A and B are shown apart, each in its own frame.
Chain A
Amino acid sequence: MDHLLEVNHLEVNFKTYGGEVKAVRDVSFHVDKGEIMAIVGESGSGKSVTVQTIMGLIPMPPGKINNGEALLHGQDLLKLTKKRMQKVKGSKLSMVFQDPMTSLNPTMKVGKQIEESITTHQRIGKTEVKKRAMEMIRLVGISNPEERYNQYPHEFSGGMRQRIMIAIALACRPELLIADEPTTALDVTIQAQVLDLMKDLKEKMNTSIILITHDLGVVAETAERVAVMYAGVIVESGTVEEIFSNPRHPYTWGLLESIPDVNSEKKERLIPIEGSPPDLFSPPKGCPFAPRCKYAMDVCVEAMPPGFEAEEGHQAKCWLNDPRTPDVEDLIAAGREEY
């Protein structure tokens, strides 16, 4: 089956005064029609850079695409001219950002900001555009759109602004919505509302979603497939069920272990992953997680592990999954015990 979006061997560097930062290294993943695919990882793991590269939002320079392709319906977005890419952005592919407080133009009525994404791509009359903007405001769950249409962003709360952002992103009914930590800046109850809204609209519009987050709870609730990123590399990917029930990478174990248990009666300390991510100016030649990994072997420091297929569609870049590793199943089982 053809994928809606297929990213292959993407490599993005940033030139800085200190040298070149290798922000994204050999990242491949795909998104199918109508699915929600999550990318999880800590700050600086390269998840935002990955999707912003696909959207053409990374300024080049300092950014530089060293390798890779991003095929939307087989068309490589990374090779499009700026003009052609502008036609794709907003109409087939759109984006919701992390911080709704600063992502809307403060001096423009929100109605106009929604209209703008429609009129950029479609030629339709004034009254018709306004009608559609109102409809979008209603669709994202904001009451009295007539009044809200004429208001400015500062008259909206954070959650409401994120709803407006979603309305802007979905106004042209794109095939793929990229949501870059859409709920990180919102408080918990609003988070749930916004996620529900996105799931709901995904069903209504048959839009696929790439959901970027560092919250595994959000992943479990919304996504169908998930890719775990660490130090610019996708270390494990698979369906949500697989990743949560049968994780094959020590970093994923660590992430799962670190989720605090709300229902726990006794006071428990949070379990962190010891150490810090590698310096991306000169990433290690082996597995980037090896220095922090309890199960690291000699080979881990020496060579980058290839993707080992655990199940159909479930890959883990970890030497523990190599058939030559002794007692691998025991180790993996032991690792899983921990959380």
Chain B
Amino acid sequence: MYIFKRLITMLVTIWVIASLTFFIMKIIPGDPFASDADVLPEEVLQNIRAKYNLDEPIPVQYALYMKDLATFDLGISIESESRTVNGIIWDGAPASALLGTQAMVIALVFGLLLGIVAALNHNKMLDYFSMFIAIVGISVPSFILAPLLINYFAVDWQLLPVASWGTWQHSILPSVALAATPLAVIARFMRSSMLEVMNQNYIKTADAKGLPTTKLVIRHGIRNAILPVVSFIGPLFVALITGTFVIEKIFAIPGIGRYFVDSIFNRDYPVIMGTTIFFSSILVLTLFLIDISYRFIDPRIKLTSGGD
């Protein structure tokens, strides 16, 4: 029952996002052919606009779009006429998803590790060291970090390819560059969460049992400290796997990151809509999965369809 209700809510959410995006998109001045208005005769422009239903009133355009959306048809790109939006997403998504997943794994493993080490050595050298790394990770933007990585690992030491996509070696540098910021965020969050948990009374109870320190930290510390971290991992993960403009651009990765930005400049309406719907669908789905997983990682949470 809970799951059924959630699924309905998810569909409604996506519909609301799609509708809002549609109308906001139409408010932006200009259209895909505004720049051609000077060179092309009026009649030609009219014909092109008619082809994309742009000559219809906006409510009609909206209805037509929703009709296609219901059959999962996201239309054809205006910018590159030969390609369907579905095709664009299908072509780019795997690379973006792989890159994002790798970055997420790196960020999670090292972020959690750094946070835990920092918390367990609160106010000691290791703590300061970990948090220094975290501060660097947060403050150095990826468009600085990525060229630096390329300069050292690819150009100077020739360990890894400079750019492009293909083998697993190609994916290392962009993954690391992409992981830096989320890694730092996770580390800082985990540290504060861990510090809070290690001050809890139940840690004292476990300590009073004579539990060895490693078991104490893992079973009673990390297990509880990770709960709040899980809830913000969701949106972070979605942001990473749905493609990133900067990293994909720098490393020339055939992902979908660039379409999010390019489509807006080109007023490529179907692609704007397509990428937005794609992103929000994955976000809504991931949040749903996280909520479901909470049921298993936190016994205090029971999934019910209504409040009590």
Listed in ascending order, the chain A residues whose CB lies under 8 Å from chain B are 55, 57, 82, 85-91, 94-95, 97, 99, 102-109, 113, 116-117, 120-121, 152, 154, 165, 168-169
Contacts and interface: CB of A to CB of B under 8 A. Distances in A.
Given A106-B300, A154-B300, A89 B205 contact: no
Contact of A102 (B201, B210, B215, B219): B201
A168 B209 contact: yes
Nearest to B122: A59
Interface string B201-223: 11011111111110100011001
B298 interface: yes
Contacts of A87: 210
B205 A168 contact: yes
B299 interface: yes
A190 B227 CA distance: 33
24 contacts: A55-B208, A57-B208, A85-B210, A86-B210, A88-B210, A89-B207, A91-B210, A94-B208, A97-B204, A102-B200, A104-B205, A105-B202, A105-B205, A105-B219, A105-B223, A106-B202, A107-B227, A108-B219, A108-B220, A108-B223, A117-B209, A117-B210, A120-B215, A152-B300
A116 B211 contact: yes
Contacts of A95: 205, 208
Contacts of B205: 95, 97, 103-105, 113, 165, 168
Interface in B262-308: 297-300
Given A97-B204, A103-B202, A108-B220, 9 more contacts: A90-B210, A95-B208, A97-B201, A97-B208, A105-B219, A106-B300, A107-B298, A107-B299, A116-B209
B209 A90 contact: yes
Main secondary structure of the interface of B (DSSP, over half): helix
Contact of B220 (A55, A105, A121): A105
Contacts of B224: 105-107
A103 B298 contact: no
A154 B301 CA distance: 10
Interface in B157-212: 200-202, 204-212
Shortest 7 CB-CB contacts between residues of A and residues of B: A89-B210, A90-B210, A90-B209, A102-B201, A117-B209, A86-B210, A103-B201
Nearest to B123: A61
Interface in B12-40: none
Contacts of B297: 107
A186 to B, nearest CB: 15
Interface residues of B, number: 23
B210 A121 contact: yes
Contacts of B200: 102
A286 B11 CA distance: 76
A87 B210 CA distance: 6
Given A108-B219, A154-B300, A99 B201 contact: yes
Among the interface residues A82, A95, A105, A152, which one has the most CB atoms of the partner chain B within 10 A?
A105
B267 to A, nearest CB: 51
Nearest to B200: A102
Contacts of A99: 201
A86 to B, nearest CB: 4
A169 B210 CA distance: 11
B207 A105 contact: no
B166 to A, nearest CB: 43
A104 B209 CA distance: 12
Nearest to A104: B202
A105 B206 contact: yes
A88 B201 CA distance: 20
A198 to B, nearest CB: 16
Among the interface residues B205, B227, B299, which one has the most CB atoms of the partner chain A within 10 A?
B205
A57 B298 CA distance: 27
Contacts of B206: 105, 116
A86 B299 CA distance: 29
Nearest to B208: A95
Contacts of A168: 205, 209
Contacts of A91: 210
Contacts of A104: 202, 205
A113 B216 CA distance: 12
Among the interface residues B213, B297, B299, which one has the most CB atoms of the partner chain A within 10 A?
B299
A168 B202 CA distance: 12
A100 to B, nearest CB: 9
Interface in B217-254: 219-220, 223-224, 227
B209 A94 contact: yes
Contacts of A88: 210
B209 A89 contact: yes
Interface in B29-80: none
Nearest to A165: B205
B189 to A, nearest CB: 18
B210 A120 contact: yes
B123 to A, nearest CB: 10
B211 A57 contact: no
Nearest to B297: A107
Contacts of B212: 86, 120
